[in-house]
Structure 1
Amino acid sequence: MNASTRIDFIYLSETDMVRAGVTDMASCVDTIEEAFNLLHHNDYRMAGVNNSSHGALMVFPDNSPFPDMPKPTADRRYMAMPAYLGGRFRMVGMKCYGSNAENRDKGLPRSILMFMLHDADTAAPLAVMSANLLSAYRTGAVAGVGARYLARKDSRVVGILGPGVMARTSLAAFMAVCPGIDTVKIKGRGEENLQAFLAWLAETFPQITQVQVVQSLEALVRDSDIVTFCASGVVSDPSTYPTVRREWVRPGAFLSMPATCNMDQGMEAPEIRKVLDHTGLYQAWYDEVPKPSHATVPMIGMRFLDLIAAGAMDREQLEDLCVMVAGQAPGRRTDDEIIILSVGGLPVEDVAWGTVVYRNALERGIGVRLNLWEQPLLR
């Protein structure tokens, strides 16, 4: 007897995703740590010739003969981000990433994301889900994994640039692994975003007893145990990116950088440990974009690769968080060493956390079940 050809899948709205646990940061950090171990053992695939690409990016031209074609306004991009992750996940997923800075004028998030999970054998759809929270939490969780291996265990003071979504999820992840944090310094541009962040902070983490709004990067970085730059900005000229200066950084600081970032010559010194969340991702970016790569991809990891290409840094200085998670390299070695982590964002992270949330939804009866077909008309 032939097996059933019926294919059903579930749709998960943003509310459904919350009910299924997408905002459980402690679990998310553990899940992303597990994914990094699989990355080290090569039980994954992403796009690109090295199987580690961020995805396929579509952009619009500056000048088009078609008046209805969208313009390449600030942060307007469309991406398809496919990945496979093995281990207990054994899933294929695809994030569809749309972004436009002008969305904020319409009361919408800058990015609007959707995610699909597929059976790894048949490619049949299993779930279609709202992915803004999924993506935000998995990105923050990378910072949490980084802090678990690279921050001082007694970290108390966090300095944050940019009071947006990444700031919230990064801080939530830091709190999950460094529960002694009691002070936050925050710098932002817009008063509305700043006040919203402060209200969220007071409600979410009442154990943080000291909150300082600072006006300069120096004040943000100085005396902070953990520093993170989470502000988006114009990409093209690295000299305009927010820059970390060595003289500001206290001994033992951990710097987690998921957004636009640069560093001064002092931070280039060999004694400053430089870590990537996954080396293959940055190599794929470097192979895909014009040089210097940091002018196109503003992650600090691309600055590392540009320095290596210029002969100003030895490749042996570059470290990989996945290798540390797998137990093949040390995390923090001393209380005084300074460590900077580049957080690039990997499609396998969406697959990992999306799979956990999807399985939670099935167990809890959450989501709308939809039918693709009883029998396919074409075979």
Structure 2
Amino acid sequence: MIIIPENAVAELVTPSDCLKAVEEVFASMANKSAYNFPVIREAIGQADALYGFKSGFDRKSLALGLKSGGFWPNNTSRGLTNHQSTIFLFDADTGKCRAVVGGNLLTALRTAAASAISIKYLARKDAKVLGMIGAGHQSTFQLRAALQQRQFEKVVAWNFHPEMLCRLEQVANDEGLPFEAVDLDHLGAESDVIISITSSFAPVLKAAQVRPGTHLACMGTDTKGKQEVEAELVGIAKVFTDDIAQAVTIGECQHAVERGIITKDTIIEIGAVIGGANHGRSSADEITLFDGTGIALQDLAVASVAVDLALAKGVAIEIDF
């Protein structure tokens, strides 16, 4: 069995590696050669934590496995990231455990890759202003990945705790872009692309705050009850997702579906756009929304990349198990 500890991942896998792996797995899903198993995600009644499992199988790459972990909101005070996870890969022919890979950095990278892919395929080509809602640990990964997809000229941002926006300002400054902390009305009025990456259980952004032609990547809702944007906003958008079953049960779409504002049949897998089966954005004025629920196949794809690179570089830790 191969072990890739958390502290080794950063030296092995790049954001571009993750973007390529996630894009390929989205396409495999659209071709029905890869699928996710039902998600288990529950409050455990300890440390206010959410814990669960995501698993799946890709018949094309033979990636089989699961990610176990969740969200511990008090970890920051312990010097740890709030998201904690480990990825397990299994041999598809024998069922033996092939690898155990630290999943914290990979989760941040694959989540950022997913929203970046949605921007690549759905945002207007002339998008100039990027809006960020949320300034937690994953926000900087989101911002860096997004800035590679369009020639953005400005970053505007809002967070529940404004003092945390400095981390996004630093990323913008590193890229030579002006940065402005704004309220949500101004963020919606200025932004061509909006990324939301919060842990909110109540809508933050409203339909009236979003202008025509905006692309939204809603990346924080991955649990029943969570919600980042108003259901009415989902209703006026052309909606895309990583996995339709997850979108309507634990994703941003859950609330709009429950209220009958949209139906499951109107949601489009992003893989269909990547593969050319769907044309994506229909007009410059259309609002597009990507419901990024976070899927096991993303985790398995990026963990497989980490294992392959570790083997190629001769740095993999191998043990009998």
Larger Rg over CA atoms: 1
Give TM-score scaled by structure 1 length. Answer: 0.77
Q: 1:321 aligns with which of 270, 284, 289?
A: 270
Q: 1:243 aligns with which of 187, 200, 205?
A: 205
SS of alignment partner, residue 109 of structure 1: coil
SS of alignment partner, residue 304 of structure 2: helix
Quick check: 1:10 aligned with 2:2? Answer: yes
Residue of structure 2 in register with 1:345 after alignment: 294
Once residues 369 and 82 of structure 1 are traced to their aligned partners in structure 2, the CA distance between those partners, rounded to angstroms, is 23
Amino acid at match of 1:59: A
Q: 2:245 aligns with which of 280, 287, 306?
A: 280
Quick check: 1:253 aligned with 2:214? Answer: yes
Are the aligned partners of 1:262 and 1:303 in contact in 2 as well (CA < 8 Å)? Answer: no
Which aligned pairs between 1:62-81 and structure 2 lie closer than 5 A? 71-74=45-48, 76-81=49-54
Offset of residue 95 of structure 1: 0.8
Offset of residue 162 of structure 1: 0.9
Q: Runs of 5+ in structure 2 lacking a partner?
A: 221-226
Are the aligned partners of 2:89 and 2:300 in contact in 1 as well (CA < 8 Å)? Answer: yes
Amino acid at match of 2:154: T
Offset of residue 159 of structure 1: 0.5
Give TM-score scaled by structure 2 length. Answer: 0.90
Relative to 1, partners in 2 of residues 1:365 and 1:300: Cα closer, same or farther, differing over 3 Å?
same
Moved more, 351-360 or 315-324: 315-324
Amino acid at match of 1:79: G
Q: Runs of 5+ in structure 1 lacking a partner?
A: 1-8, 48-52, 61-70, 286-296, 373-379
Once residues 306 and 271 of structure 2 are traced to their aligned partners in structure 1, the CA distance between those partners, rounded to angstroms, is 23
Residue of structure 2 in register with 1:294 after alignment: none
Once residues 315 and 58 of structure 1 are traced to their aligned partners in structure 2, the CA distance between those partners, rounded to angstroms, is 24
SS of alignment partner, residue 190 of structure 2: coil
Count residues with an aligned counterpart.
Answer: 315
Quick check: 1:223 aligned with 2:190? Answer: yes
Q: 1:31 aligns with which of 9, 15, 21?
A: 21
Residue of structure 2 in register with 1:183 after alignment: 154
Offset of residue 316 of structure 1: 4.8
Displaced runs of 4 or more, over 4 A: none
Quick check: 1:172 aligned with 2:156? Answer: no
Are the aligned partners of 2:234 and 2:256 in contact in 1 as well (CA < 8 Å)? Answer: no
Relative to 1, partners in 2 of residues 1:223 and 1:348: Cα closer, same or farther, differing over 3 Å?
same
Q: 2:310 aligns with which of 361, 368, 373?
A: 361
Residue of structure 1 in register with 2:224 after alignment: none
Are the aligned partners of 1:16 and 1:367 in contact in 2 as well (CA < 8 Å)? Answer: no
Q: 1:304 aligns with which of 243, 251, 256?
A: 256
What is the alpha-carbon root mean square deviation over aligned residues?
A: 2.1
Q: Percent identity?
A: 21
Offset of residue 353 of structure 1: 1.3
Residue of structure 2 in register with 1:130 after alignment: 102
Moved more, 340-349 or 323-332: 323-332
Once residues 266 and 197 of structure 1 are traced to their aligned partners in structure 2, the CA distance between those partners, rounded to angstroms, is 25
Quick check: 1:331 aligned with 2:280? Answer: yes
Offset of residue 58 of structure 1: 4.3
Once residues 264 and 94 of structure 2 are traced to their aligned partners in structure 1, the CA distance between those partners, rounded to angstroms, is 41
SS of alignment partner, residue 274 of structure 1: strand
Residue of structure 2 in register with 1:50 after alignment: none
Offset of residue 358 of structure 1: 1.2
Once residues 268 and 36 of structure 2 are traced to their aligned partners in structure 1, the CA distance between those partners, rounded to angstroms, is 21
Offset of residue 333 of structure 1: 2.4
Once residues 186 and 180 of structure 2 are traced to their aligned partners in structure 1, the CA distance between those partners, rounded to angstroms, is 10
Amino acid at match of 1:80: F
Offset of residue 275 of structure 1: 2.0
Once residues 265 and 59 of structure 1 are traced to their aligned partners in structure 2, the CA distance between those partners, rounded to angstroms, is 28
Offset of residue 127 of structure 1: 1.8
Once residues 325 and 187 of structure 1 are traced to their aligned partners in structure 2, the CA distance between those partners, rounded to angstroms, is 31
Are the aligned partners of 1:20 and 1:360 in contact in 2 as well (CA < 8 Å)? Answer: yes
